[in-house]
Amino acid sequence: MDGKRRIGIIICDRYRSCSGGKCLRSLRNREGAFSIYKEGGAELAGYTSCGGCPGGNIENAGEEMLKNGVTDIHLATDFLVGYPPCPSIDYFVRFMEERYKVRVVIGTHPIPAKYFAIHDRLGTWKAPEWKPRIAATLGDEGTRAAYD
C-alpha cells in the first residue's frame, strides 16, 4: 500500500468507556486487522463510538472522519466479540463504503483468547458468513493470548 493511511476507529457503544489500548497497540504493532498497513505508514486520525444500537453515530462519525482526512475506517473488534456480536455490522460497512467511498475494515486488534474461547463454545462464528468477518482479527493462539 503506497503512502500514509489515516485511520478512523469506530467502537461499539457498549464499550464507550474503552480507552482504546488494544486497538492502539495493534495499530502500532501492525497486528490484527492493522496488519494490512505493514507497507507504508498509518496513523490514527479519528476515534469514536457508533452511538448505540442501531448505530446512530455511524453517519455523523464517517462524515467527520472524512473531514479529518481519514482514508480507512475500522469497525473495532468489539463489534465481533460482544455478546451478541453486532447485528448491524454488514450494514455499517455497506453504508459507509457507499456514502463515503472509503475502505471500511471489520476489526482492529486480534481477538483476545478469552473471547475466542467463549464464542467458540457458543458456536457464534460457525456460520459461513462469519469466516470473512473475523479473518483479519483471528490471529494465532499466542497472539490471542497476548491480547487477553
Q: From first to last of its 148 residues, what are the pLDDT tens digits of the chain? A: 457 899 999 999 999 999 999 999 999 999 999 999 988 789 999 999 999 999 999 999 999 999 999 999 999 999 999 999 999 999 999 999 999 999 999 999 999 999 999 999 999 999 999 999 999 999 999 999 999 9
Q: Kindly give the residue spans of alpha helices, DSSP state H, lying in 56-140.
A: 58-67, 78-81, 89-100, 113-122, 130-138
The whole domain housing 52 covers 5-146
**Residues pairing with 5 in the sheet:** 42
The pTM for the full model equals: 0.94
Helix 58-67 with 89-100: angle, nearest 10 deg: 40
Into how many domains does the chain fold? 1
Between strands 103-106 and 42-49, the pairing is: unpaired
CATH number, residue 25: 3.40.50
CA dihedral for 137, 140, 146, 148, sign (positive or negative): positive
